[in-house]
A and B are shown apart, each in its own frame.
Chain A
Amino acid sequence: MATLFDITLLFLLVAVAIAIVRVRDLFATVMLTGIYGLLSASFFVSLDAVDVPFTEAAVGAGIFPLLMLAVISVVGRYEKTPHRRPLISLALVTLTGIMLFLGTLDMPPFGAPDDPAQQHVAVRYIQDSPTEIGIPNMVTSVLASYRGYDTLGEVVVIFTAAIGVLAMLAIPLTRSNAESDAPEANMRNHEILRIVSKMLIPLILLFALYVQFHGEYGPGGGFQAGVIFAAEIILYTMLFGLRTATRVINPDVLRLLAALGVLLYGCVGVVSMISGGNFLDYNVLFDNPITGQHMGILFIELGVGITVASTMILMFFAFAGKTENHREDNPW
């Protein structure tokens, strides 16, 4: 039964991918990409991953199509070039595919419990992490403690991307006067959307905080919480306009928060160095190692959440600023 479900999802993924190849309307392609992300997330769930589809749905079916839509409204909706059929590229793709196929022939069978992948390092994570780290979610204990340095790298990656986006698209600093504070003309009529979203936003915020702090006991964590918080602010921005949103949350404050999140993460590591352990060794933070692990994970997840939320919002503001300027010049 589960195998049938797996196979169906895989075929659906292939079908969506082929549709993306053939469709020339970029708007439809972006929607198909969102569907692809959602199908991948469902597939992850059927493969027993729980944290991963949470992130993949938020990112692949949420933030990514959103940013793409913002860019398409500036860049143009239709793909112009007729598809050419260069044989060299097709040959290259086929060659790579054949190499990969040959590579899988000697792989251990899919799903077997005695695969080498499940034997060596993973055994300790599964058996000892509830006692060594003291939290039930093994993915969080690996992510935040055993391989916490990789997660610092991940936070720095998203920080780097936000700095890069800001370097290339500056957010319009609006010291605007009263007239331009009126919300977008085309959104003013959507009364229902505006009222309902104003009711939903506090609930989304609450959910984001829940996911942030509950990540040790169930699926969740800093990154997912940051994305949910960013999604809430993006919803507000879409309905009420960029100028209103930048008055609610100042982009300069967001820059500050992005930097502070990374620094918070780094400081936890520096404090543990000063306390006598290695970098990011939480056991030395408090007298009780388990308390040390808990508090260390709490602080770094907070750092991750703060940076991710502020960078996602900053990036959206940067793209939205371009969209607005473009719309003033030529309505779509």
Chain B
Amino acid sequence: MVMDLYNYWMVIVLMMIGFYIVIVQGNLIKKLIGLNIFQTSVFIFYISVGKVDGGTAPIFIPEATLYSNPLTHVLILTAIVVGIATMALALSLVVRIKAAYGTVEEQELQERDLQC
């Protein structure tokens, strides 16, 4: 049972570390890094679903009989692009927040906001 599913369990550990960084740590940049870890571990999860023991990369060669699943690879290619797009947008927001507030720490931002 462990040998069947160890891959998924390690991926869950990675996801939770990423999730933890996003919700606990205060620096806006650190949150984005946590988000990146979270997303990348989901990609590892998908590719693990598509892996076939004894298979080879999904590029047709005459000698091979068993291939890994190409659909999961396609989904992850799209998801990687979506991830970097979100990150780029988030980083530009952080730069503007720094210019407007003078800080990128969550606690300080909330304090400066409360001075309505």
- State the A residues within 8 Å of B (CB): 6-7, 10-11, 13-14, 17-18, 20-21, 26, 29-30, 33, 36-37, 40, 43-44, 47-52, 55-56, 59-60, 63-64, 67-68, 71-72, 74-76, 79-81, 83-86, 89-90, 92-94, 96-97, 100-101, 104-105, 107, 109-113, 115, 117-118, 121-122, 125-126, 129-130, 136-139, 141-143, 147, 150-151, 153-154, 157-158, 160-162, 164-165, 168-169, 217-219, 223, 315, 318-319, 322
Residue of B nearest to A45 (CB): B57
- The 0/1 profile, CB within 8 Å of A marked 1, for residues 43-59 of chain B is 11001111111111111
A74 to B20, CA, bound (A): 26
Return chain A residues, CB-CB under 8 Å to B5. Answer: 104-105, 107, 109-110
What's the least CB distance linking A7 to chain B, in Å?
7
Q: In the complex the two chains form, is B60's CB within 8 Å of A130's CB?
A: yes
In the complex the two chains form, is A319's CB within 8 Å of B95's CB?
A: yes
Q: With a CB–CB cut-off of 8 A, which chain A residues contact B18?
A: 17
CB-based contact A113/B6 at 8 Å: no
Q: Does B53 contact A49, Cβ atoms closer than 8 Å?
A: no
Given contacts A6-B7, A138-B58, A147-B74, contact A72 B85 (CB under 8 A): no
Chain B interfacial positions (CB closer than 8 Å to A): 4-21, 23-27, 29-30, 32-34, 36-37, 40, 43-44, 47-61, 66-74, 76-78, 80-89, 91-96, 98, 104-108
| Complex: A142 Cα to B63 Cα, angstroms | 22
Q: Determine if A138 and B51 form an interchain contact, defined as CB atoms under 8 angstroms apart.
A: no
Cβ-defined contact, A111 with B53, below 8 A: yes
Q: Are A71 and B43 in contact (CB under 8 A)?
A: no
One of A93, A126, A142 near B20 (C-beta < 8 A): A93
CB-CB under 8 A from B91, the residues of chain A are 67-68, 71, 319
Of the candidates B12, B66, B83, the one whose C-beta lies within 8 Å of that of A113 is B66
* Pair A153/B78 contact, Cβ less than 8 Å: yes
**Chain A residue contacts of B83, Cβ below 8 A:** 59
Instruction: From the candidates B27, B49, B59, B77, name the one contacting A117 in the complex (CB within 8 A).
Output: B49
Report the separation of the CA atoms of residues A26 and B104 in the bound assembly, to the nearest whole angstrom. 12
* Interface of A: prevailing SS: helix
Is B94 in contact with A71, judged by CB distance below 8 angstroms? yes
Q: Could you name 17 residue pairs across A and B whose Cβ atoms are closer than 8 Å? A: A17-B37, A29-B29, A40-B44, A44-B44, A49-B47, A64-B87, A71-B91, A74-B98, A81-B107, A90-B20, A107-B5, A110-B6, A113-B53, A117-B69, A139-B73, A154-B81, A161-B88
Residues of B within 8 A of A121 (CB): 71
Is A107 a contact of B17 with CB atoms below 8 Å?
no
CB < 8 Å neighbour of B59 from A50, A60, A84: A50
Q: Are A113's CB and B19's CB within 8 A?
A: no
Contact, CB under 8 Å: B12 / A48: no
Q: Are B84 and A104 in contact (CB under 8 A)?
A: no
Give Cα distance in the complex from A10 to B45, angstroms. 12
Known: A93-B23, A219-B59. A26 touches B30 (CB 8 A): yes
Q: How far is the CB of B82 from chain A (nearest CB, A)?
A: 5
With contacts A20-B37, A81-B105 taken as known, whether A118 is within 8 angstroms of B52 at the C-beta atoms is yes
